[in-house]
Amino acid sequence: MQLVFATNNRNKLQEVQKLFPPDIKLLSLEDIGCHEEIEETEPTLEGNAILKANYITKHYGYSCFADDTGLLVDALNGEPGVHSARYAGNQKNTEDNINKLLTNLKGELNRSAHFKTVIALNHNKEQFLFQGIVTGTLTTERKGEKGFGYDPIFIPDGYDKTFAEIPMDIKNKISHRAKATQQLLAFFK
C-alpha cells in the first residue's frame, strides 16, 4: 500500500517514517510531484490538517494524510497554538519562534504546556481524524541538539530532559505526533 504524507517538512517526514511498517510505503509531496506550499489558513489545527489532506486528494488523487501540530502554553492562553510554525513571522524560523516564546514567558512561573497533533486521513473516499497530545513544561533556555521546532525547550511529563535531548526511539513512543500516528496505523490493522 502507498500513502502520501502531505508535508514539506523533512524532519517531520523522517520522524513519521520510522513509525511505519514496511508494508506501507510512505510517499512525500516531492515523491508525487507536489512542490507548492499548501497555505494553512484555518483557525484550528484540525482545520489545517483537513485542508492539506483535501488539497492532495483533490489535486493528486492519492490516499493521504496531513497533520498540523501546535504548542499550547498555559500562561499564554494557548499561544502559539495554530500559529506555532509562524509565531515570530511568516519566515517560519525556529530560532526566532523559540526566542519570541522565551521572551514572552520571561519571569513566568507557570511553564506548563502541551503539544497537540491532529492527523486528517483521506482514504477510500472517507475522512478520519486522529489526535495525539503530550503534556510537559518549558525550560528557560535551549537544551539538546536533537529534534526540531520547539523540542529544545520542551520537557515531557515524567522526564527530566527536553525532546531535543531524548533519543529518537524514546521520543517516537511518547510524543504527540507518535500518539496520533499510532492511532493512524491502528486504523490500517
* Alpha helices per DSSP H over 105-157: none
Q: Is 157 a catalytic residue?
A: no
- pLDDT tens digits along 138-184: 999 999 998 889 999 999 999 999 999 999 899 989 999 999 999 99
* Residue 23 near residue 188, CB atoms below 8 Å: no
Collapsing DSSP to helix, strand or coil, 174 comes out as: helix
Element (H or E) spanning 115, and its range?
A: strand 112-123
Q: Which residue among 67, 68, 96, 157 is the active-site one?
A: 68
CATH architecture for segment(s) 2-188:
Alpha-Beta Complex (3.90)
Euclidean distance between the first and final Cα of the chain, in Å? 12
- pLDDT tens digits along 92-118: 899 999 999 999 999 999 999 999 999
CA distance 71 to 169: 21
* Residue 138 near residue 73, CB atoms below 8 Å: yes
CA distance 44 to 110: 24
Pairing assessment for the beta strands 25-27 and 2-5 based on DSSP bridges: parallel
Q: What is the pLDDT of residue 15?
A: 81
Which of 113, 103, 124, 128 lies closest to 49, judged by CA?
128
Q: What is the pLDDT of residue 5?
A: 95
Residue 158 CB-density burial (10 A; 0-12 exposed, 13-18 middle, 19+ buried): exposed
* Residue 45 near residue 78, CB atoms below 8 Å: no
Domain boundaries, the chain: 2-188
In this prediction, residue 16 has a pLDDT band, given cuts at 50, 70 and 90, of: confident
Give the Å distances, CA to CA, from 26 to 32, 47, 58, 158.
11, 23, 19, 31
C-alpha cell at 70: 501546535
Total-model pTM: 0.93
CA distance 164 to 151: 5
C-alpha cell at 158: 515524567
- pLDDT tens digits along 115-145: 999 999 999 999 999 999 999 999 999 999 9
